Amino acid sequence: MEKLKVGIVGCTGMVGQRFITLLAEHPWFDITVLAASARSANKSYEEALGGRWALDTKAPEKVLKMTVLDSEADFQKIVDSVDFIFCAVNMKKDEIKALEEKFAKAECPVVSNNSAHRFTPDVPMIIPELNDSHCEIIDSQRKRLGTKRGFIAVKSNCSLQSYVPALWPLDKKYGLTKALACTYQAISGAGKTFESWPEMVDNVIPYIGGEEEKSEKEPLKIWGKVENGEIVPATEPAITAQCIRVPVTNGHLAAVFASFEKKVDLEEAISVIESFKGAPQELELPSAPKQFVHYFREDNRPQINSERNLEKGMAVSVGRLRPDSQYDLKFVCLSHNTLRGAAGGAVLLAELLTAKGYITKK
Ligand SMILES: NC(=O)c1ccc[n+]([C@@H]2O[C@H](COP(=O)([O-])OP(=O)(O)OC[C@H]3O[C@@H](n4cnc5c(N)ncnc54)[C@H](OP(=O)(O)O)[C@@H]3O)[C@@H](O)[C@H]2O)c1
């Protein structure tokens, strides 16, 4: 298949950098445009970064030499040069909404990491293994936007990428009624490193603005149903969350408590988690982990250092599944926040949308 041309809007940021490394050798997608704010525009990618590269692996030479475009001033040039864009920008919510809708209306599909459109009723918010069926809402969205190709699809917040994938198969088997999640979130989730956020060294901050609301509300849209041209969020399971920032570079961990309608057998629950497969595994998408959720039997796992990069950072790790005195079960889970939780999750979503025929060559 001829590769699809892709633009990365927000290319200099923490998530943008991950897109660069994930797409450098991608079998289906080819980076043809890099875009960011006017601050970075007309500079080479290397100059625009100005020392902000935060990843262990080096940026590809070809990309370092590319000229960064201004997502506003060079809008038409971007649209004309790509088949679709990834968008991960740090702007005001209403500005992001307007920018993403402008791209979609210009017939350029948008796969977004931003939260701005997550609750637009006809914008699907997809974890590809869980609710790939929500792609069908794109037909209604295109009707509203008056487009043939253009649409917006979003991925959910990074905080819930560990516990929702673990709870989903358990819900299918036992009927999840309620869950409590305490998340321990890495500083890259705020687009930061220890250099740019020295206050985080040897520190814990018990507040991440807006994160608890997202962690509680977004799962209900993922559990929602497509009805009359909208995704109607589910009303249960009831989820409550506390989100804490911890001094870790990458990897969000969650301690989870959950109750179910049916009695849970622990060994069976582990095998339900381990054997769970979704559309990405069935379609053998290039970025899909072979096994979506891995279970670790050792008491001291999953750990950030040993598990965050499991299956190229696209798999979720679970451990310490055991009975609880107040809920039915408790466990710990982990996912890489800028891979599965951000750029990697968005690349997998774009692969799903391509495999289902929603993203095509112009
Ligand atoms: N970090 C994570 O783990 C994570 C996870 C899930 C979702 N997200 C979401 O992804 C988005 C980006 O996060 P991040 O951590 O990558 O942020 P970041 O490191 O602060 O990077 C922000 C990017 O936005 C660009 N930008 C800022 N103003 C712009 C404008 N007016 N027009 C075009 N581009 C503009 C910046 O370009 P300049 O360099 O030119 O300023 C930069 O490329 C956010 O919406 C965030 O909530 C992040």
CATH class for the region spanning 158-336: alpha beta
Q: With contact defined as beta carbons under 8 Å apart, do 259 and 327 qualify?
A: yes
Q: Is 297 helix (H, G, I), strand (E, B) or coil?
A: coil
Is the distance from the beta carbon of residue 36 to the nearest atom of ligand 1 less than 6 Å? yes
Q: Which two tokens stand for residue 280?
A: 């990405």
Q: Is 252 a catalytic residue?
A: yes
C-alpha to C-alpha distance for 60 and 82, rounded to whole angstroms: 20
pLDDT of residue 1: 80
Catalytic one of 11, 87, 108, 158: 158
CB neighbourhood size of 113 (10 A): 26
Atom of ligand 1 nearest to the CA of 15: 16
Q: Is 19 helix (H, G, I), strand (E, B) or coil?
A: helix
Q: For the whole model, what pTM was predicted?
A: 0.97
Q: How far is CA 299 from the centre of its chain?
A: 28
Please check the confidence at residue 56 and state whether its pLDDT lies above 90.
no
Q: Which two tokens stand for residue 303?
A: 């750990």
Q: Is 334 helix (H, G, I), strand (E, B) or coil?
A: strand
> Domain locations in the chain?
4-157+343-355, 158-336
Mind listing the pLDDT tens digit for each residue in 146-181? 999 999 999 999 999 999 999 999 999 999 999 999
C-alpha to C-alpha distance for 79 and 156, rounded to whole angstroms: 25
Please give the CATH number for the structural domain made up of 4-157+343-355.
3.40.50.720
C-alpha to C-alpha distance for 78 and 31, rounded to whole angstroms: 12
Mind listing the pLDDT tens digit for each residue in 117-141? 999 999 999 999 999 999 999 999 9
